[in-house]
Amino acid sequence: MVEKAYPVSFEIAGPAAMFTRPDTGSSPVSYPAPTRSSLKSMFESVAMSKTAYFEPQKVEICSPIVFHKYSTNYRGPLRKSGKPNFQLFSTVLENVCYKVYGVVKAYEPPRHGENPQHRLQAVFQRRLQAGALFVTPFLGLKEFTPSYFGPLRDFTAPDAAINLVIPSMLSAMYDRPTDGKVAPRFLQNVEIRGGVMFFDQ
């Protein structure tokens, strides 16, 4: 028996994005493309469920990869005692645009009259089309809000000039998609070809 797929897609664009490489320490540097967990977070800004979840499969990078320096005044709990704030320097992406494709999965198969995958898919598509959000979506950092977030647009397309390999990329921070425990996992030698990146390589 072939399992029925519940596909979903969306597009997001903005002036800046930050998908932090964990190995870059106190002066963080962004990956050149969004991580699986960041795309899951974008989906969940529209709809969430404890019985079903979004699994990103592919992202199309629709604008050139451009890095630039970014600094902000940090006033959080990691600042030194007696210091009101300090400047945090990072390397972020600018003018990003992504088309995201994935499927809705569930922990248990659907039962008669109860299909959590179909329900989450339908709620997401309806709310995305209407522009109804659960929380404000963001591109890695909460201050990096999108200039566009909605259904796929006809005039955007993958940048065919983008061809590179990411040696190691964070895949997930937790051992399950919802209510999980911290257990980071990484993908190795992730390829971007013609502006398209698949998470299952």
Rounded to an integer, what distance in angstroms lies between the CA atom of residue 61 and that of residue 59? 6
Output the pTM of the full model.
0.89
Do 160 and 182 touch, CB atoms closer than 8 A? no
Quote the mean pLDDT of the chain. Answer: 90
Q: Domains (ranges, CATH) in the chain? A: 7-157 (3.30.70.2660)
Q: For residue 64, with 0-12 CB atoms within 10 Å meaning exposed, 13-18 middle and 19 or more buried, which class applies?
A: middle
DSSP 23: G
Rounded to an integer, what distance in angstroms lies between the CA atom of residue 27 and that of residue 189? 23
Between the CA of residue 64 and those of 7, 11, 161, 176, what are the distances in Å? 27, 16, 8, 33
What digits encode the pLDDT tens for the residues 48-70?
988 899 999 999 999 999 999 99
What digits encode the pLDDT tens for the residues 182-196?
888 888 999 999 999
Rounded to an integer, what distance in angstroms lies between the CA atom of residue 92 and that of residue 118? 36
Three-state SS at 42: helix
Once rounded to an integer, what is the mean pLDDT over residues 139-158? Answer: 95
Please count the other Cβ atoms lying within 10 Å of the Cβ belonging to residue 133: 13
By C-alpha distance, which of 29, 48, 38, 42 is closest to 166? Answer: 29
Once rounded to an integer, what is the mean pLDDT over residues 148-164? Answer: 97
Q: Six-digit token pair at 72?
A: 């902000």
pLDDT of amino acid 53: 92
Using pLDDT thresholds of 50, 70 and 90, give the confidence band for residue 74.
confident
Once rounded to an integer, what is the mean pLDDT over residues 85-89? Answer: 77
Using pLDDT thresholds of 50, 70 and 90, give the confidence band for residue 1.
very low
Between the CA of residue 143 and those of 15, 138, 140, 180, what are the distances in Å? 11, 7, 9, 26
Residue 199 has pLDDT above 80, yes or no: yes
pLDDT of amino acid 140: 93
Between the CA of residue 31 and those of 34, 36, 53, 56, 86, what are the distances in Å? 7, 12, 24, 17, 24
